[in-house]
Structure formats: C-alpha cells, structure tokens
C-alpha cells in the first residue's frame, strides 16, 4: 500500500483528534518529504479534516481511551493483522496505549522501523508506587520493541535512563506549533473584536480569561471554576471562557452539573473550535491548571499569540512558562493560588503586556514545529538506512 517507491509510514494514535489536532501539519510535512503517510486510529469526526490534508486514514475498531483491557487486547491483534497486510516501512506510535501495544504489534509483524513518541509518561515520580510500577514496567518492555523513543519532555529523559533504556534509543524531541498560524500580528482588529464579543466581553475594559482543552477534571477545570466564583465580586469585568470538546470516554469527564455550576460563576463554554488563532487573539490571559501534562500544546499556542500564561507548576507547564517572565506558575490543585494569580494579572495590564511580549519571544526560540519535523525525519532516514531500506526498496501491500 505504498505509492510508487514512497516508503509507507503509519502514525498510530488512539483517536482521530490526535492525528488531526496534534499531528496534522507534521503528517503533511512527512508526506511532502517523500513518504506515503497513513493515519491509524479509531474512526471519528476528525477523519474528514485529516483526509482534506491529503492524509489517508485506516480505522481501528477496537482502539479506545476507556479502561477496557479486553478491547486493548483486541486492538493489539487488530494492529498486528493490519501491519502484516500493509507491510509499512515505518510505524510511529503515540499516546499511552498505542505506544505500548502498537510497538508490540509492530515488532511481531516484523515492521522494519518502529518509532514511538512519549508525549509525557503517564506516571509521574509523585504518583503512587503501584501506578509507577505498571507504567514504567510496560514502557521499559515496550522500548525493547522499537528502534527509537522520541521524548517531548526533558523531565522524562532521566526516568527512562533510570529504567535502563539504552541511550542509543533515546532522542529528545521537544514540542512545537506552527508559529506562522499563531501570530497576533496576522489577526485583524475586526477579527479580534468579534472574538472578544464571542468570548463574552461586552465592554472595552473587560478582561477575557481563556481555557482550552478536553472537558475532563485532569485539566484543572474545577480549580479555575472555583477561582472564577471567588473573583466575581471583586472583578466583575473578568470573563471566563472554555474552548474544547467533551470526552465522555474518560472517567473524569465534566458532568452537566459541573458545567452548570461553572456557568453560574459566569463561565462560558464554546465547545470544540477550529479558529483558535482568532479566539486566542480575543483573550487577555490564558490559564492551564492541569494536574498532568506532557508538553501542553494549547499553552504554547497561547504564548505564541503573545498571551501571559498562568499554569500549574508541573512537568510540561514548566517547559512552556518561565515563572514571572512569560507568566505565572501555581501549585497544582490549588484554587486559591489560581485565583490570586489571575487577580494579579487582571489588575496589572502593563505586566500582562510585558509577559506577553516575552512569551512570544520564547515561542519563537523554542516552539517552532519545523525543528521537531526535521529531527523526526532525520530519525526515519537514519533508521531506514541502517535497515538497508531506500525509497526504492519498499515492499507494498500483500495481495
């Protein structure tokens, strides 16, 4: 299933939203570099957007984000048969579950080159021992089935070294976004004004506080909603707005009562959107109160748009926010600290502006997705060369 002599590259995620929202521009770049690129995930509403980029999609019927070990086992065998049928040159896995069983399936199917991206180890050093044992144990075994592990976050690198993952298999990837797409200078005053109105601003002095992410408790929504309720009497000009899709498969999905309480505190919900640059342009500051992150894309986007970012002092957020320079870091699960940070920046427009300028400068230095694309392509080419594969020696789909 390759086009002429183009090597077949499969990117495997749990859901189609990851292929489109997290990897879409990269998949296009890999295609333009000479690969026949296919996205593999559970089917969903983002497949059409992926295909509009010119990226084919193959559905996985058993991939799920829910806790379902029997479905995970079925997904492993489904992937094995898929890899045997398509015979790709490269399989690149992502997310916690495909990152484990996808590598097992690819090795069993004798895929020549297997790469995995760790978007943030699913266990942290402060997690309970039982969780760390399972996550770290599975990761250690899965690394024996791949050629290279790309890590987005530098804090995960020493963890894998302690797990005795060979240094030759580790590459620090970082994370990046399209800095050209997320650029405040490209948003017209009219577009910014319309975005502010949509986000809830009715007066020039209103201060729009934006949140972006899946509607799950892990993103720290409860703490921000609590902060919104606390701040409302003293800061009636604050406007809180949440942008992101529901995630019913997750056990910590926000409930209708959660949303109702937030709306009582003045929080507005816009759902999933595809015009994020315009919406960021309508914000005055950005908040990400997550309990766990790998390397948060939304915070990078907000920084690139020149917004000061308030985030929790955790892995991932620490890589995006330079405390007291590009934003503020606050303790995790601390609604009072979130409220205090919002109040400080709400009361100081000059500080917001200074932090926003610094945030854009940091994004330009550190968050360019082109660097991540180039590094990944260099890994593919090196590994294909080591396996004796060139663009002209790729075996296609079995009949």
pLDDT at position 391 is 58
- What would the two tokens of residue 152 be? 């987005």
pLDDT at position 69 is 86
Rounded to whole angstroms, what are the CA distances from 31 to 222, 251, 322?
41, 36, 35
Cα 101 to chain center, whole Å?
A: 20
125 pLDDT band, cuts 50/70/90, is confident
Residues 6+ apart with CB under 8 A from 182: 276, 277, 280, 301, 304, 305, 363
**Average pLDDT for 352-375:** 97
**Average pLDDT for 160-173:** 96
Radius of gyration for the alpha carbons in the chain, expressed in angstroms and rounded:
22
67 pLDDT band, cuts 50/70/90, is confident
Cα 167 to chain center, whole Å?
A: 25
pLDDT at position 5 is 76
pLDDT > 80? residue 270: yes
What percent of the chain has pLDDT above 90?
88
Alpha helices (H) along the chain: 16-17, 24-32, 47-52, 69-86, 96-97, 103-108, 129-143, 157-162, 189-198, 221-231, 256-264, 276-281, 297-304, 317-320, 335-346, 349-366, 369-386
Specify the higher pLDDT residue, 188 or 65: 188
pLDDT at position 105 is 98
* Check whether domain 8-176+369-386 has CATH 1.10.3210.10, yes or no: no
Contact 11, 39 (CB under 8 A): yes
339 pLDDT band, cuts 50/70/90, is very high
Kindly state the helix (H) or strand (E) to which residue 56 belongs, with its residue range: strand 56-59
**Three-class SS state of 314:** coil
Burial tier of 79 (Cβ tally within 10 Å: 0-12, 13-18, 19+)? buried
Q: What is the pLDDT of residues 181-219, one digit of tens each?
A: 999 999 999 999 999 999 999 999 999 999 999 999 999
pLDDT > 50? residue 399: no
**Average pLDDT for 273-284:** 97
Residues 184-366: name the CATH superfamily.
Answer: Glycogen Phosphorylase B; (3.40.50.2000)
**DSSP string of 128-192?**
-HHHHHHHHHHHHHHHTT-SEEEES-GGGHHHHHHTT--GGGEEE----B-TTTS-GGGS-HHHH
pLDDT > 50? residue 111: yes
pLDDT at position 396 is 41
Residue entry with tokens 């890994």: 379
46 pLDDT band, cuts 50/70/90, is very high
**Average pLDDT for 9-32:** 95
- HSE (side-chain half, CA atoms, 13 Å) at 249: 11
398 pLDDT band, cuts 50/70/90, is very low
Q: Is the dihedral of CA 295, 299, 304, 308 positive or negative?
A: negative
β-pairing, 8-15 vs 267-271, is unpaired
- Torsion, Cα of 387, 390, 395, 396 (10° steps): 130
Contact 277, 307 (CB under 8 A): no
pLDDT at position 95 is 84
Q: What is the pLDDT of residues 311-321, one digit of tens each?
A: 999 999 999 99
pLDDT at position 1 is 46
β-pairing, 8-15 vs 238-243, is unpaired
**Three-class SS state of 96:** helix
4 pLDDT band, cuts 50/70/90, is low
| Residue 105: DSSP 8-state | H
Q: What is the pTM of this model?
A: 0.90
Annotated domain spans of the chain: 8-176+369-386, 184-366
pLDDT, mean over the chain: 94
Q: Do domains 8-176+369-386 and 184-366 have the same CATH topology?
A: yes
pLDDT > 80? residue 235: yes
């Amino acid at each position: 299933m390759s086009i002429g002599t183009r090597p077949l590259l499969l990117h495997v995620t749990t859901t189609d939203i990851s292929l489109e929202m997290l990897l879409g521009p990269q998949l296009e770049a890999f295609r333009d570099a000479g690969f026949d690129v296919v996205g593999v995930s559970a089917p969903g509403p983002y497949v059409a957007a992926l295909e509009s980029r010119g990226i084919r999609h193959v559905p996985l019927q058993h991939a799920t984000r829910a806790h379902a070990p029997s479905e995970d086992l079925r997904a492993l065998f489904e992937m094995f048969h898929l890899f045997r049928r398509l015979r790709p040159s490269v399989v690149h896995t992502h997310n916690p579950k495909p990152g484990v069983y996808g590598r097992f399936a690819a090795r069993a199917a004798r895929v020549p080159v297997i790469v995995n991206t760790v978007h943030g180890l699913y266990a942290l050093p402060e997690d309970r021992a039982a969780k760390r044992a399972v996550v770290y144990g599975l990761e250690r075994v899965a690394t024996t089935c791949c050629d290279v592990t790309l890590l987005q976050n530098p804090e995960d690198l020493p963890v894998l070294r302690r797990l005795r993952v060979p240094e030759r298999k580790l590459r620090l990837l970082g994370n990046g976004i399209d800095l050209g797409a997320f650029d405040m200078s490209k948003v017209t005053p009219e577009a910014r004004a319309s975005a502010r109105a949509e986000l809830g601003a009715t007066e020039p002095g209103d201060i729009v506080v934006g949140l972006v992410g899946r509607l799950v408790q892990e993103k720290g929504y409860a703490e921000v909603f609590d902060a919104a309720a606390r701040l409302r009497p003293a800061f009636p000009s604050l406007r809180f707005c949440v942008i992101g899709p529901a995630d019913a498969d997750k056990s910590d999905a926000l409930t209708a009562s959660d949303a109702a309480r937030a709306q009582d505190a003045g929080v507005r919900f816009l759902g999933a959107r595809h015009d994020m640059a315009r919406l960021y342009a309508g914000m005055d500051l950005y908040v990400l109160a997550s309990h766990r992150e790998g390397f948060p894309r939304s915070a990078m986007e907000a920084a690139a748009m020149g917004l000061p970012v308030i985030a929790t002092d955790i892995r991932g957020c620490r890589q995006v926010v330079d405390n007291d320079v590009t934003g503020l870091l606050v303790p995790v699960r601390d609604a009072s600290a979130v409220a205090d940070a919002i109040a400080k920046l709400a009361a100081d427009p000059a500080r917001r502006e200074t932090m926003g300028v610094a945030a854009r400068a940091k994004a330009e230095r550190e968050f360019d997705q082109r660097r991540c694309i180039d590094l990944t392509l260099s890994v593919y080419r090196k590994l294909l060369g080591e396996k004796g594969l060139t663009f002209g020696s790729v075996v296609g789909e079995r009949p």
